[in-house]
């Protein structure tokens, strides 16, 4: 690469509106010049989940402000931008359309090349942005809308080893929080309640551990929490806070056990094909969970693998990862033209069949 490349990234596939400017210099060093993320959490709070129509309108209203802020903070005028990268799927379609239209407008008006980016590729490539990890590496993407093991072979070459066949773990944390009367987002509130929980008060299932392979299921676990809650309420006339904490602790322990065991299997599969020392990377909002993070770190140590978890601001949805994915992919692909469309579903591994039920709840990522 003989000159610096500067890319403006846009992200609007779920409930965060984001814009960022990322530069790669001729030596290959990459720097995030700005990363603006405006979350819509308060807009959806009363509804117990992301409302697609509200999300899409909110994205459309503030995307241009985010772009302006990202350019100002990066001290980079549009005239210096070499490419506009935008999440063009998968995700909530109205939000993705908002981003794609904004990016197309900028590209057409200014004559800047346009790059549609798979949101999941953004997450999956983040360890290269933060830690300069060489290919190949094993990735566990674990968020509110996704849960899958991927081998990243290259900027646009991903092999899916398995994933959830129904809910994603973050979605399960959010639903469990609702079931036991804790605030959204459920992950942090369930984790915090679990700290006061005692081991062994309740026993919940560890779904799909009896099935070979790396596929997972979290929907039955959530139903088991519902039944246990109903039993407690029937017996006690309510949900005493100690029993609520115990239930949260057992739920979290079940998620930890499933993720840890399936990660063992994914690492075994990965190591069969890649004799060199493995690296396990994790991304997505659920990676913020201390118990999950430390379980994954321990599993990595069992396999003498390195463990990489990007800082939380880059694990969760952001536009720097989208700009970076475009920079990684540029040498291997062409720019898109104005026929670029928003794709609600867009599997990363083109050879792997779509998972039954995955993403039905309206894919977050």
Reply yes or no: is the peptide bond before residue 136 cis, omega within 30 of 0. Answer: yes
**Helix crossing, 186-194 with 290-302: angle to 10°?**
80
Residue 160's φ and ψ, nearest 5 degrees, are: -90, 125
The window from 129-137, 139-147, 152-160, 228-236 that contacts ligand KG4 (CB under 6 A) reads 139-147
Instruction: Please give the angle made by the CA atoms of 66, 67 and 68, to the nearest 5 degrees.
Output: 90
Instruction: Please give the angle made by the CA atoms of 299, 199 and 233, to the nearest 5 degrees.
Output: 125
The window from 58-66, 187-195, 205-213, 334-342 that contacts ligand KG4 (CB under 6 A) reads 187-195
Q: Which residue is nearest to Zn ion (CB)?
A: 365
Kindly identify the residues of this chain, within the stretch 20-39, that bind ligand KG4 according to CB under 6 A.
Answer: none
CA diameter of the chain = 71
Per rule CB under 6 A, is residue 128 in the interface with ligand KG4? no
**Helix crossing, 169-179 with 241-273: angle to 10°?**
170
**Shortest distance, position 40 Cβ to ligand KG4, whole Å:** 11
83-89 and 5-11 as β-strands: parallel, antiparallel, unpaired? parallel
Nearer to Zn ion by Cβ, of 247 and 365: the residue is: 365
**Shortest distance, position 145 Cβ to ligand KG4, whole Å:** 5
Nearer to Zn ion by Cβ, of 189 and 318: the residue is: 318
Kindly identify the residues of this chain, within the stretch 265-294, that bind ligand KG4 according to CB under 6 A.
Answer: 284-286, 288-289
Draw the binding track, 305-334, toward ligand KG4 (x: CB under 6 A; -: no contact): -----------xx-----------------
**Shortest distance, position 298 Cβ to Zn ion, whole Å:** 25
The window from 30-38, 140-148, 258-266, 347-355 that contacts ligand KG4 (CB under 6 A) reads 140-148
**Shortest distance, position 106 Cβ to Zn ion, whole Å:** 22
CB-based contact 107:311 (threshold 8 Å): no
Cβ contacts of 314 within 8 Å, gap of 6 or more? 126, 129, 130, 283, 320, 321
Nearer to Zn ion by Cβ, of 308 and 325: the residue is: 325
Nearer to Zn ion by Cβ, of 59 and 229: the residue is: 59
Per rule CB under 6 A, is residue 11 in the interface with ligand KG4? no
Among 123, 149, 150, 138, CA closest to 276: 138
SS (H, E, C) 246-282: HHHHHHHHHHHHHHHHHHHHHHHHHHHHCCCCCEEEE
Residue 306's φ and ψ, nearest 5 degrees, are: -75, 155
Per rule CB under 6 A, is residue 186 in the interface with ligand KG4? yes
In the numeric block, which tokens belong to residue 82? 């070499």
Nearer to Zn ion by Cβ, of 216 and 365: the residue is: 365
Quick check: helix, strand or coil at residue 142? strand
**Shortest distance, position 25 Cβ to ligand KG4, whole Å:** 29
**Shortest distance, position 359 Cβ to ligand KG4, whole Å:** 12
For tokens 């290919």, name the residue: 135
**Shortest distance, position 183 Cβ to ligand KG4, whole Å:** 11
From the list 144, 197, 310, 359, which residue makes contact with ligand KG4 (rule: CB under 6 A)?
Answer: 144
What is d(CA 208, CA 131) in angstroms, rounded to the nearest whole number? 33
CB-based contact 108:250 (threshold 8 Å): no
Per rule CB under 5 A, is residue 365 in the interface with Zn ion? yes
Nearer to Zn ion by Cβ, of 278 and 365: the residue is: 365
Nearer to ligand KG4 by Cβ, of 153 and 361: the residue is: 361
Site of interaction with ligand KG4 (CB under 6 A):
14, 143-145, 170-171, 173-174, 185-188, 191, 284-286, 288-289, 316-317, 364-365
Site of interaction with Zn ion (CB under 5 A):
317, 365
């Amino acid at each position: 690469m003989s000159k610096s490349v500067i890319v403006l990234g846009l992200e609007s596939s779920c409930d965060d509106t984001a814009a960022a400017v990322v530069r790669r210099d001729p030596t290959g060093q990459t720097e995030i010049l700005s990363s603006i993320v405006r979350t819509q959490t308060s807009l959806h709070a009363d509804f117990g989940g992301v409302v697609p129509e509200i999300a899409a309108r909110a994205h459309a209203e503030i995307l241009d402000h985010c772009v302006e802020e990202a350019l100002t903070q990066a001290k980079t005028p549009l005239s210096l931008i070499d490419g506009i990268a935008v999440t063009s799927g998968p995700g909530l379609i109205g939000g993705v359309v908002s981003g794609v239209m904004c990016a197309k407008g900028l590209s057409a008006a200014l004559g800047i090349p346009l790059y549609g980016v798979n949101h999941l590729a953004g997450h999956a490539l983040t360890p290269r942005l933060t830690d300069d990890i060489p290919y190949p590496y094993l990735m566990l993407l674990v968020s509110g809308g996704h849960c899958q093991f991927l081998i990243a072979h290259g900027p646009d070459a991903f092999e899916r080893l398995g994933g959830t066949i129904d809910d994603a773990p973050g979605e399960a944390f959010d639903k469990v929080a609702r079931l036991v009367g804790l605030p959204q987002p459920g992950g942090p509130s369930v984790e915090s309640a679990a700290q006061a929980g005692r081991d062994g008060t309740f026993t919940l299932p560890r779904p799909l551990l009896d099935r070979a392979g790396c596929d997972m299921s979290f929907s039955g676990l959530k139903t088991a929490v519902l039944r246990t809650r109903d039993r407690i309420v029937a017996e006690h006339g309510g949900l005493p806070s100690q029993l609520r904490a115990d239930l949260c602790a057992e739920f979290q322990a079940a998620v930890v056990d499933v993720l840890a065991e399936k990660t063992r299997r994914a690492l075994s599969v990965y190591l069969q094909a890649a004799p060199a020392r493995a690296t396990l990377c994790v991304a997505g909002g659920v990676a913020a969970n201390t118990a999950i993070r430390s379980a994954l770190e321990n599993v990595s140590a069992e396999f003498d693998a390195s463990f990489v978890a990007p800082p939380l601001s880059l694990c969760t949805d952001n536009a720097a990862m989208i700009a970076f994915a475009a920079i990684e992919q540029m040498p291997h692909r062409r720019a898109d033209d104005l026929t670029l469309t928003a794709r609600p579903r867009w599997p990363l591994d083109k050879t792997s069949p779509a998972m039954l039920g995955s993403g039905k709840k309206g894919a977050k990522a």
